[in-house]
Chain A
Amino acid sequence: MSEMAAPLTPAQKSTDQFEIRDYLRLDLFPHFLCPGCGHGIALRALLWAIHDLDIEKDQLAVVSGIGCSGRLSAYIDANTFHTTHGRPLAFATGLKLARPDLHVIVITGDGDCLAIGGNHLIHAARRNLDITCIMLNNEVYGMTGGQVSPTTSLDRFTTTTPLGNQEPGFDACALATGAGATFVGREVTLQTTALKILMQEGIVHRGFSFVEVISDCTEIYGRKNDLGSSPEMVLSQKRSVLPKFDGSAVDKPFRAGNWDTGVLLRKERPEYYEAYRAHCHRVLGDGKSK
C-alpha cells in the first residue's frame, strides 16, 4: 500500500519565468482549441502552479472528462487519464484511493462537471477526498456544437436555445460549497497570476478543492451572442467580477456578470482517505489495515 502523498507546502518560490514546454507534449502542438479560447490560459496557469509547487511529473496525475476541457490533459506531459463524459471525478476517486501518493488533479468543464457529472461532483465534495477539481466554465457545450449548458446565462443564444436561454444557471461554487467541498475558489483567465495562485492553493489544500475558472468560448458562444472578439470577452469577464477574500460563497445570489472571485471558502474537515485508513486500522487492528 502506498503512503499518502506528503503534504505540500505553499510554494515559497514564485517564478515569473518558467519553461512551459517542459510540461507539454510538443508533438501534439499546436493544440486543437479555437483561437482565443480561455482554456489555453487556464492550462498555462495550472502548469505554472505545478511548476512552482515542484511537483514531480511522476507524482502528478491529471484526469479529464469529455469536451474542450477534456482534451487539455492530453497536452500535459505527466500521467494523464482521458475518461468518459462526466466521470473524471469518479475515475479520480478510484485513482486517489489506489494511489494516494499521487497528486490528482481533475480538469473538467461546466457541462462535464455540472450536468452529466453533477452527481459525481457533489459526492466527491461530500467525501472530501484530496482531489483538486478545476472546472473550466465557458457557459456552453463548445465541442459538440454549442448547446446550452447548466451555466449558460439567461437570455443567451445557443444552438438549443434559439430564442434565448430561460433556465437559471448553476452557481458552481455555491454547489460545491453546499456539497461539502473544503476549498472553493473562482477566478477569471485574464488574472493569470491570481488564477495560478488560486490553483496552487487548491492543490496544496488537503481535501476536496474546487476551482472554477471563468473561461471564454469566442468562436461558438461569443459569436452567437455578439460578445465581441476574444480580447473583448476576457476584458468584460474581468469587469464583471467582484474579488473576495475568504468570504462565504453563498451570501449572494448568482447573477451573470456578477461573480465573486478569489478564495470563497476554506475550511478544515477530515480528509476521506486518511479518515478511512484510520477507521480500518481501528477496526481491524495492526497489520491488517489493507
Chain B
Amino acid sequence: MNSTAGTSAVRPAVMAAPTNVLIVGVGGQGVIMVSKILARLSQLQGLQVKQSEVHGMAKRGGSVFSHIRFGNEVWSPTIPMGEADVVLGLEWAEGLRWLRYLKPGVGTFISDTKRIVPPFSCRDRQHDARHGYANHSVAEIVNQVPSAFAPDATGMATQLGNERVANTILLGILSTVMDFPVESWREVLPEFVPPKTVETNLKAFEAGREWTTKPHAPDLNETSVVQHAMPTSRREVNLEITEAWCKSCDICVKMCPERCLALDDHQIVELVKPEACTGCRVCEWLCPDFAIAVHVSSVPIVANQAGVSTEVSA
C-alpha cells in the first residue's frame, strides 16, 4: 500500500452482500489489467477482494474472463449466474456471452461495440467467409438492459492515438457507476499501465467519464453486424496451369492446404476442386517450374447473396 491509503476514509456505503463485477474480453485486451485495477481500488477502500480469472488466452481471440467480488466480507471467488452487478465487456460478443450473469433488471452492462470475429466462427475458409458472430444490434441489447452503456471505445481510443486504451475508456465509464471516489481511480490507474502510456490512459479515463454525461442513441449504421457479414465483392480465383512446363514433381498437390490439386493421367497437375481453392498462392510460390499462376480478382456481388450470420453460441 502506498500513500493513497489515506483515501480509505471514504468508504462506500456498508454493503451487506459483496459487489460482483465480471470483466470479460478476448486475449490481449487487458481484462486482467482492468481487474487488477479494480481489485487494488477495493483494497484501498479497506474492502475484502476476491478475484478469479481464466487467462492464458494471450493469443488474440481467446476468451478471457475475470470475476471480482469485493465487500466487507467475501467468501466465494466466483460470481453465480444472474448475480453480477456489472458486466464489463471489452469485446461485443464476449459481453453478450456473459450477459446472462448480469443481475436481471438491476445490473449494469458496459461493453465496447468493437467486434473481433474469431477465425473459428467462419463457416468456410474463403476470404470474406460467412461467420457465426453475434448478429444482435446494439440497440436491441441496450433496450433490453435497463442500465447499459455501449460505446465504440476502440474507435474513441484510436482517436486518442492508441487503440489499446479502449479498456481505460470503459474503466472511465465503470467509475461512474461505482461508489469509489474518482481521485482513487486516477491514483491507481498509473500503477498498472505502462509508464509511457500514463498520460494517454488518464485522457482515456476522462473520455470515458465524459461519454456517460451525454445522451447516446446507439448508432445502428456504424455497428450493424449484418452489414459486416455481407461483403460487396467476392474474390474470384483462377488457376492458370502451363501444362508444358509441369514436371509432375507433386509439390503443389501435397502442399495445397485445401487439397484441390491432383495429377491427371498424364501426370500433369490439374485443379480438381475449383470451389475449394482459396487463392492462397502456396502452389504458385512452391512450383519450381513456374507452371502455376494464381489470378485473383474481385467480383462485385448483388445483395442478399451472402449468408446471414446466426446467433452467438452462448
Complex Cα distance, B254 from A232, in Å, reads 9
Complex Cα distance, B285 from A190, in Å, reads 9
Interface members, chain A 31-85 (any B CB < 8 Å): 31, 33-41, 44
Tell me if B17 counts as interface (CB < 8 A to partner A): no
Interface centre among B245, B251, B255, B293 (most CB of A within 10 A): B251
* In the complex, per-residue mask of B273-314: 1 if CB is within 8 Å of any chain A CB, else 0: 000000001000111111101111000000000000000000
Q: A231-B250, A234-B251 are in contact. Are A40 and B287 (CB under 8 A)?
A: yes
| Chain A: CB-nearest residue to B281 | A16
- Check if B290 sits within 8 Å of A29, measured CB to CB: yes
Chain A interface residue count, CB cutoff 8 Å, equals 29
Q: A36-B251, A231-B255 are in contact. Are A30 and B245 (CB under 8 A)?
A: yes
- Chain B residue contacts of A21, Cβ below 8 A: 290
Tell me if A165 counts as interface (CB < 8 A to partner B): no
- Check if B286 sits within 8 Å of A35, measured CB to CB: no
- Check if B281 sits within 8 Å of A41, measured CB to CB: no
| Chain B: CB-nearest residue to A41 | B288
| Chain B: CB-nearest residue to A230 | B249
Chain B interface residue count, CB cutoff 8 Å, equals 22
| Chain B: CB-nearest residue to A234 | B251
- Chain B residue contacts of A19, Cβ below 8 A: 293
Tell me if B176 counts as interface (CB < 8 A to partner A): no
Interface members, chain A 187-237 (any B CB < 8 Å): 189-190, 192-193, 218, 229-232, 234
Complex Cα distance, B281 from A17, in Å, reads 9
Q: A17-B296, A192-B285, A231-B255 are in contact. Are A35 and B249 (CB under 8 A)?
A: yes
Complex Cα distance, B78 from A42, in Å, reads 56
Tell me if B248 counts as interface (CB < 8 A to partner A): yes
- Check if B285 sits within 8 Å of A36, measured CB to CB: no
- Check if B286 sits within 8 Å of A234, measured CB to CB: yes
- Check if A36 sits within 8 Å of B247, measured CB to CB: yes
Q: A17-B296, A29-B245, A30-B245 are in contact. Are A231 and B289 (CB under 8 A)?
A: no
Tell me if A20 counts as interface (CB < 8 A to partner B): yes
- Check if B288 sits within 8 Å of A37, measured CB to CB: yes
Q: Which of B244, B286, B293 contacts A41 (CB 8 A)?
A: B286
Tell me, rounded to whole Å, the shortest Cβ–Cβ distance linking A247 to chain B. 24
- Chain A residue contacts of B285, Cβ below 8 A: 41, 44, 192-193
Interface members, chain B 208-266 (any A CB < 8 Å): 244-245, 247-251, 253-255
Complex Cα distance, B294 from A229, in Å, reads 24
- Check if A230 sits within 8 Å of B251, measured CB to CB: yes
- Check if A192 sits within 8 Å of B286, measured CB to CB: yes
Complex Cα distance, B244 from A35, in Å, reads 13
Tell me if A24 counts as interface (CB < 8 A to partner B): yes
- Check if B286 sits within 8 Å of A190, measured CB to CB: yes
- Check if A40 sits within 8 Å of B289, measured CB to CB: yes
Complex Cα distance, B254 from A36, in Å, reads 12
Tell me, rounded to whole Å, the shortest Cβ–Cβ distance linking A279 to chain B. 44
Complex Cα distance, B198 from A183, in Å, reads 40
| Chain B: CB-nearest residue to A40 | B288
Complex Cα distance, B174 from A285, in Å, reads 74
Q: Which of B245, B251, B288, B295 contacts A39 (CB 8 A)?
A: B288
Q: Which of A44, A190, A218 contacts B249 (CB 8 A)?
A: A218
| Chain A: CB-nearest residue to B253 | A231
- Check if A30 sits within 8 Å of B244, measured CB to CB: yes
| Chain B: CB-nearest residue to A229 | B250
- Chain A residue contacts of B281, Cβ below 8 A: 16-17
Q: Which of B244, B249, B293 contacts A36 (CB 8 A)?
A: B249
Complex Cα distance, B253 from A21, in Å, reads 22
* In the complex, per-residue mask of B48-86: 1 if CB is within 8 Å of any chain A CB, else 0: 000000000000000000000000000000000000000
Tell me, rounded to whole Å, the shortest Cβ–Cβ distance linking A36 to chain B. 3
- Check if A33 sits within 8 Å of B289, measured CB to CB: yes
Complex Cα distance, B248 from A226, in Å, reads 19
Tell me, rounded to whole Å, the shortest Cβ–Cβ distance linking B308 to chain A. 31
| Chain B: CB-nearest residue to A17 | B296
Complex Cα distance, B286 from A39, in Å, reads 10
Q: A192-B285, A193-B285, A231-B255 are in contact. Are A44 and B248 (CB under 8 A)?
A: no
- Check if B290 sits within 8 Å of A44, measured CB to CB: yes
Q: A16-B281, A36-B250 are in contact. Are A31 and B286 (CB under 8 A)?
A: no
Tell me, rounded to whole Å, the shortest Cβ–Cβ distance linking A59 to chain B. 23
Complex Cα distance, B247 from A24, in Å, reads 18
- Check if B244 sits within 8 Å of A33, measured CB to CB: no
Sample (30) of A-B pairs whose CB atoms are under 8 Å apart: A17-B281, A17-B296, A19-B293, A20-B290, A20-B293, A21-B290, A29-B290, A30-B289, A30-B291, A33-B288, A33-B289, A35-B247, A35-B248, A35-B289, A36-B247, A36-B249, A36-B250, A37-B249, A40-B290, A41-B285, A44-B290, A189-B286, A192-B286, A230-B249, A230-B250, A230-B288, A231-B249, A231-B255, A232-B254, A234-B286
Which A residues fall within an 8 A CB radius of B? 16-17, 19-21, 24, 29-31, 33-41, 44, 189-190, 192-193, 218, 229-232, 234
Excluding A35-B288, A40-B289, 8 further A-B contacts by CB distance (< 8 Å) are A19-B293, A36-B249, A36-B251, A38-B288, A40-B290, A230-B251, A231-B253, A234-B251
The 8 closest A-B pairs by CB, nearest first: A40-B288, A36-B249, A231-B254, A35-B247, A35-B249, A192-B285, A30-B245, A230-B249
Which B residues fall within an 8 A CB radius of A? 244-245, 247-251, 253-255, 281, 285-291, 293-296
